[in-house]
């Protein structure tokens, strides 16, 4: 193989890796819109501009009207809201809205009824993250029609010159037949050039779309041995972030400067390690940084092996992203005996319905009788109980009643969930002050819960699995000052 094709193959493989979208593209939110408790499900288009499906459920209340509108973070003006249509079941309303610009957007949902009016801002990260392939049977059918039409127009052109002006039954003269062949050749060349030009235009458009598809920042993870406790390093290596302060470099590469990172749940980064080959270990860490490029954390006591690494960050614009890397934890490496205060690890397999915590308390999954299917809304419902069977008293964990991590066994799907859904609280804070005319986002999210703490130990996470396959769900709660984790296995079927 020549050097050029080999290099092209490597670049293509890197492109596929960088364009992999490990999160869940759809957006879920559960919370309050004034006096109303609502659930919002936004099905985000894979290409921008595109149409988003907005689904809103008003829980346990009859209302007069539900409206929704989309607004880009960098744009002060917003289009008038659209009125959502009742679906006729379960208090659901739906509408479809155009998302015209990629980047950090929001959907503002307003509810009007007997209890008054209320609204909430739901952040939506809209990017081009997939390229639809042409169905092979359809492609073959279209190719057949194209060949038929190409041959037909050549035949018609030749017949028009050879026989178009002859009386019925008269045989064309040899000169007329030769002229017809010349016209047929010219017609074939003309339409061949048109087809070649169309293909060139299409290939250019497709290449431009590939270049503009969303790619998360490139990052690398490594373990640095030390005498006491080894350090886990996570470095953002993407030039678009490393060179964000060099305006001349950005202009030369036709890039816009990214806004700074802001804390989400009081942390600048949430770093997750999932062990490959069975997902038998999980670490939820919060590394520190001096420059927002190099992050480090004490390495917790994890089994040796290769780990998939997922780093969640949020920009001041409200744009949330997940960075992906891998790291090898070698045998015999020194590790901290206990994780930091807000860090947690879990070593073990998944359970079907019930996981027992070290002190005898349990976390149970209310699976229900309905099977899990890709794309189907399903509430992940859990009960936390003391060893005596009474509901557990939960403490806020990074401002939330609980956290959940959902990952597919091949690493293609990863999401960090909360009872309020898939959204980032820092993203929501970025939009909320703007809605009230304040240009400065507070980002004061700390230890105050944004979701009421459950009094009965019952937790719910709104979600829909984006792909079929084998998943593991880790549920994390805080009790008596300790972070505790339970693991559950799920099999998700394909949509019929």
Query: Which residues of the chain are under the pLDDT cut of 70?
Result: 1-23, 74, 76-77, 227-228, 335-337, 433-450
Q: Which CATH superfamily is domain 27-126 in?
A: Immunoglobulins (2.60.40.10)
Decide whether 27-126 matches 349-496 in CATH topology.
Answer: yes
- How many whole angstroms from its chain centre is CA 59? 26
Residues in the chain: 496
pLDDT of residue 173: 85
Specify the residue for token string 């062990």.
275
Q: Can you tell me which residue has the tokens 């057949």?
A: 144
Residue-level pLDDT at 23: 64
Domain range list for the chain: 27-126, 136-212, 217-260+273-334, 349-496
Beta bridge partners of 489: 472
pLDDT digits (tens, 9 = 90+) for 20-51: 346 677 899 999 999 999 999 999 888 888 89
* Rounded distance between C-alpha atoms, residue 223 and residue 230, angstroms: 7
The pLDDT of residue 379 is 86
Q: What is the pLDDT of residue 89?
A: 76
- In angstroms, the Cα distances linking 256 to 244, 249, 259, 293, 420 are 8, 10, 9, 18, 31
Domain 349-496 has CATH 1.10.1130.10: no
pLDDT at 381: 95
- Within 10 angstroms of residue 4's Cβ, the number of other Cβ atoms is 8
Question: Nearest to residue 106, comparing CAs of 82, 73, 78, 152?
Answer: 73
What is the spatial order of strands in the sheet that 482-492 belongs to? Answer: 414-417, 403-408, 469-479, 482-492
Tell me, rounded to whole angstroms, the distance of Cα 150 from its chain centroid. Answer: 43
What is the CATH T-level fold of the domain 217-260+273-334, as seen in this structure?
Immunoglobulin-like (2.60.40)
């Amino acid at each position: 193989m020549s050097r050029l094709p080999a290099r092209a193959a490597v670049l293509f493989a890197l492109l596929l890796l960088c364009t992999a979208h490990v999160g869940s593209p759809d957006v879920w939110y559960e919370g309050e819109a004034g006096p109303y408790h609502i659930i919002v499900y936004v099905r985000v288009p894979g290409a921008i501009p595109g149409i988003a499906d907005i689904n809103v459920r008003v829980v346990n209340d009859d209302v007069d009207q539900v409206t929704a509108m989309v607004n880009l973070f960098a744009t002060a003006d917003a289009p008038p809201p659209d009125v959502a249509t009742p679906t006729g079941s379960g208090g659901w309303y739906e509408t479809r809205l155009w998302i015209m610009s990629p980047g950090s957007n929001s959907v503002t949902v307003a509810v009007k009824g007997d209890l008054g009016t209320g609204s909430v801002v739901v952040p939506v990260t809209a990017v081009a993250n997939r390229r639809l392939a042409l169905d092979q049977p359809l492609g073959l059918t279209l190719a057949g029609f194209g060949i038929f039409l190409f041959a037909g127009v050549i035949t018609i052109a030749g017949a028009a010159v050879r026989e178009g002006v002859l009386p019925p039954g008269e045989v064309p003269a040899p000169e007329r037949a030769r002229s017809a062949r010349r016209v047929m050749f010219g017609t074939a060349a003309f339409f061949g050039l048109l087809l070649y030009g169309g293909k060139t235009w299409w290939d250019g458009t497709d290449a431009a779309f590939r270049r503009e598809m969303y790619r998360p920042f490139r990052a690398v993870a490594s373990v640095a041995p030390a005498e006491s406790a080894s350090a886990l390093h996570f470095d953002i290596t993407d030039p678009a972030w490393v060179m964000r302060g060099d305006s001349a470099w950005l202009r030369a590469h036709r890039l816009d400067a990214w806004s700074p990172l802001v804390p989400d749940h009081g942390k600048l980064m949430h770093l997750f390690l999932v062990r490959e080959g069975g997902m038998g270990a999980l670490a939820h860490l919060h590394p520190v940084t001096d420059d927002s490029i190099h992050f480090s954390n004490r390495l917790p006591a994890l089994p040796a092996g290769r780990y998939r690494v997922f780093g969640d960050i949020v920009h001041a614009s409200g744009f949330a992203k997940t960075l992906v890397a891998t790291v090898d934890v070698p045998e015999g490496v020194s590790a901290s005996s206990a994780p930091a205060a807000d860090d947690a690890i879990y070593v073990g397999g998944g359970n079907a319905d019930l996981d027992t915590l070290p002190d005898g308390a349990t976390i149970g999954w209310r699976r229900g009788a309905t099977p899990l299917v890709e794309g189907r809304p399903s509430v992940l419902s859990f009960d936390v109980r003391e060893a005596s069977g009474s509901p557990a008293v939960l403490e806020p964990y990074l401002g939330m009643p609980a956290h959940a991590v959902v990952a597919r066994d091949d690493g293609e799907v990863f999401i960090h969930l909360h009872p309020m859904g898939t959204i980032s609280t820092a993203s929501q804070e970025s939009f909320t002050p703007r809605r009230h005319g304040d240009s400065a986002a507070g980002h004061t999210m700390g230890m105050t819960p944004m979701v009421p703490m459950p009094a009965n130990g019952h937790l719910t996470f709104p979600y829909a699995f984006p792909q079929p396959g084998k998943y593991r769900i880790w549920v994390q709660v805080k009790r008596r000052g300790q972070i505790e984790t339970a693991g559950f296995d799920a099999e998700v079927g394909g949509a019929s």
